[in-house]
Amino acid sequence: MNKQQFLNDLQKIYNYLDNQKANTNELIKYLEKGEFEKLSIIDDFAQILGLNISSDLRFALVTRVVNLRDDSLVQVLKKLGKSEEEIIELQERAFLFVKDFWHKKHKELIDFISQNNLLTPFYKEVFRGVYNVGLAMSSWQSSWTKHIINGVNKELISKFDGNEEKIMKYLEDEKLLDLGHGGITADRVYSALVKTENGYQSEAYIKAFKKECTAVIDALESFNDNLIELEDDIYNQKWEHIEYIQALIVAFSEDKPNSLVEKWANVDRAWMKIKTPIQIGHPLEYYEDHFRKAVALEWDIRVTNPKFAQNDHRVNKIKKAFTKIFNSFIEDKSYKKIFDFSFSSLDKVQLYVGRPALFFGAELNGLFSAQVVPNDEVVSKELGKKIFAFSDEILQSSRAKPFLKLSQEILGQEFLTKDRNFLFNETSSWHSVYDISTIGHEYGHILWCDEESESIMNKSGNYKNIEEFKATTGGLISYLLDDEKDETHLQEQVLIDLVKRSVGLISWMEVGEVEPYYCEGLIHLSGLFESKVLVWKNDTEELKIDLSDEKFESLKAWYIKTYTTLAKHYLEKKDATQFLNIYATKKDSKYFMPNDENINSFVKYYFKKYQEIGQELDILDKKENYIK
């Protein structure tokens, strides 16, 4: 097989995934059209959960299966008066149902590759090996969530009455945060807290989850043994794959907590050397665990779109905007060091635009729309980062999503008509907006920080809660400060996208693992309200949206000023909470709320509406109105 034949096979797999996604999205279509007799799988799902089917439960269960999110399900369970313990148990049962559903689909992909004799024996084995390791990862996910998220973390919240600063101080004082590079406190851990007579101690995954972790190691060892027998005749990256899998085995087997970060850095180093269009993803992110940042059990294969051509379009615009902001500061040696670190990282980025093909473990609770990794800045200093963008997947999902009554009531039909015409009929421009908002977001993560920034700025536990705003705004700034005119025609849709995202993120108020995105939305709302793009009348409960050039220019000025302040905050490595508290604080609430009274009242109104009608379909508008 030559390289072109291999890419042709990859295209067949890519098309298969497109069709598989379309078939899964049919469940949404049946929901919209009221063809409930075709939703027997959802009836089975409700029966397994021991719940009586209703319209909002049906919507929540379809969302759980298709989009892998369970926030709607949690809201429905709250409406049904379920206790916190009952909700946790039902979330777990839902996870097991969704796991079986997607594992079956993943097995069908493996069979499709085999039956059609696609790819070389080496890459067939890559798919098979990832699938087998994935089964073990998904099996582990339940005990990981039970122990860390619903166990220790809830105990800590109870022990310190929800005061996160006290929790972080306790973890630091008791040395319950693992050490990383150079013996400094790490920005993440590959361990769990285990109770002792006097409190807690940190134990590596291999000790805290011995049975589950050993099953993963066994599957990795089989994967390694099988690959060694084969050759990579297409990309000559056999030994890079072997080195990567062996590094994973070593990292999962490490039992000393303070040696874990270095062992996993070696995993990242080996992984950065793999540059094929078939990419294995390993445990990298740590959103779920708000306190110790225990790395989640992610495991997947992403495939690059064979038609994707590498380009420097976004990164060049990011570099120019980044330099403009930096040049506005008074020269400082420490600033220059961080600027150079970030700039160098931008130069080393590998960009992969494609689709997730197989996914397991934590990813059965939600997939990325894009991702920039590794998070280990010591590794990134040496080898850069990989950016993954799943634009085809996101466009397909966005077009399939049902129209909701909530959007109709809050945003209004005029706004939605503009957005939906664009979504369904402007494919090329849609990808351009995705490039600004989402790929730009991933590049935006790289800016203004070095290998120490997160551990220094996260003393009170809110680094991630400003980092997502920094990332999205980095992409926006590359658009707002652009001297070229090639993207000016996207102005209205960039603004619509921003409004929709910022308002929509309010619905995630009570979902702990996505708090960083909820907080990001609150900061964006400050700009949208201050510039009067959004105006909320509390007495009439009406949101006015003004997309005019005048308001856009006002918002642009707000973003440039705010982003410049934020960049300086990062350069000086100030605690993240100081910046977040300019816009939102936790006063009498379990959740961050806007400081501005008007925005605060809008957020409360929106969330209340979300609780009431967030699972109701919009019957006033139809997709047929837009599909030409």
Q: What's the mean pLDDT in 104-121?
A: 98
Confirm if 410 and 419 have CB atoms less than 8 A apart: no
Whole-number percent of the chain with pLDDT over 70: 100
Give the confidence band of 100 by pLDDT, cuts at 50, 70, 90: very high
Question: What Rg do the C-alpha atoms of the chain give, in angstroms?
Answer: 24
Using alpha carbons, select from 524, 520, 518 the residue that is nearest to residue 495: 524
3-state SS of 56-114 is: HHHHHHHHHHHCCCCHHHHHHHHHCCCCHHHHHHHHHHHHHHHHHHHHHHHHHHHHHHH
DSSP per residue, 420-458? HHHHHH-HHHHHHHHIIIIIHHHHHHHTT--TTHHHHHT
Is the pLDDT assigned to residue 101 strictly greater than 80?
yes
User: For the segment 204-245, what is each residue's pLDDT rounded down to a tens digit?
Assistant: 999 999 999 999 999 999 999 999 999 999 999 999 999 999
DSSP per residue, 485-519? STTGGGHHHHHHHHHHHHHHGGGGTT-GGGHHHHH
pLDDT of 628:
78
DSSP 27: H
DSSP 294: B
C-alpha 606, offset from chain centre: 23
Confirm if 472 and 441 have CB atoms less than 8 A apart: yes
Q: Any bridge partners for residue 537, and if so which?
A: 542
Confirm if 292 and 189 have CB atoms less than 8 A apart: yes
Name residues whose C-beta falls within 8 Å of residue 535's C-beta, 6 or more positions apart in sequence.
529, 543, 544, 546
CB neighbour burial string for 433-466, b if at least 16 within 10 angstroms, e if fewer = bbbbbbbbbbbbbbbbbbbbbbbbbbbbbbbbbb
Mean pLDDT score across all residues of the chain = 96
Rounded Cα gap, residues 107 and 125, in angstroms: 13
Q: Which two tokens stand for residue 410?
A: 């809050």
Rounded Cα gap, residues 468 and 462, in angstroms: 11
Q: Which two tokens stand for residue 235?
A: 């990309």
CB neighbour burial string for 263-285, b if at least 16 within 10 angstroms, e if fewer = bbbbbbbbbbebebbbbbbbbbb
Confirm if 525 and 503 have CB atoms less than 8 A apart: yes
Give the confidence band of 309 by pLDDT, cuts at 50, 70, 90: confident
Burial degree of 550 (CB within 10 A; 0-12, 13-18, 19+): exposed
User: For the segment 559-588, what is each residue's pLDDT rounded down to a tens digit?
Assistant: 999 999 999 999 999 999 999 999 999 977
User: For the segment 362-414, what is each residue's pLDDT rounded down to a tens digit?
Assistant: 999 999 989 999 999 899 989 999 999 999 999 999 999 999 999 999 999 99
pLDDT of 497:
98
Whole-number percent of the chain with pLDDT over 90: 92
Name residues whose C-beta falls within 8 Å of residue 340's C-beta, 6 or more positions apart in sequence.
none
Rounded Cα gap, residues 436 and 473, in angstroms: 10
DSSP 349: P
Q: Which two tokens stand for residue 13?
A: 């797999």
User: For the segment 454-485, what is each residue's pLDDT rounded down to a tens digit?
Assistant: 989 999 999 999 999 999 999 999 999 999 99
Name residues whose C-beta falls within 8 Å of residue 272's C-beta, 6 or more positions apart in sequence.
350, 374, 379, 383, 384, 386
User: For the segment 144-172, what is each residue's pLDDT rounded down to a tens digit?
Assistant: 999 999 999 999 999 999 888 899 999 99
pLDDT of 308:
86
Is the pLDDT assigned to residue 513 strictly greater than 90?
no
Is the pLDDT assigned to residue 271 strictly greater than 90?
yes
Give the confidence band of 520 by pLDDT, cuts at 50, 70, 90: very high
User: For the segment 72-95, what is each residue's pLDDT rounded down to a tens digit?
Assistant: 999 999 999 999 999 999 999 999
Name residues whose C-beta falls within 8 Å of residue 589's C-beta, 6 or more positions apart in sequence.
none
Helix (H, G, I), strand (E, B) or coil at 371: strand
DSSP 532: T
Q: Beta strands 278-281 and 298-304: pairing type?
A: antiparallel
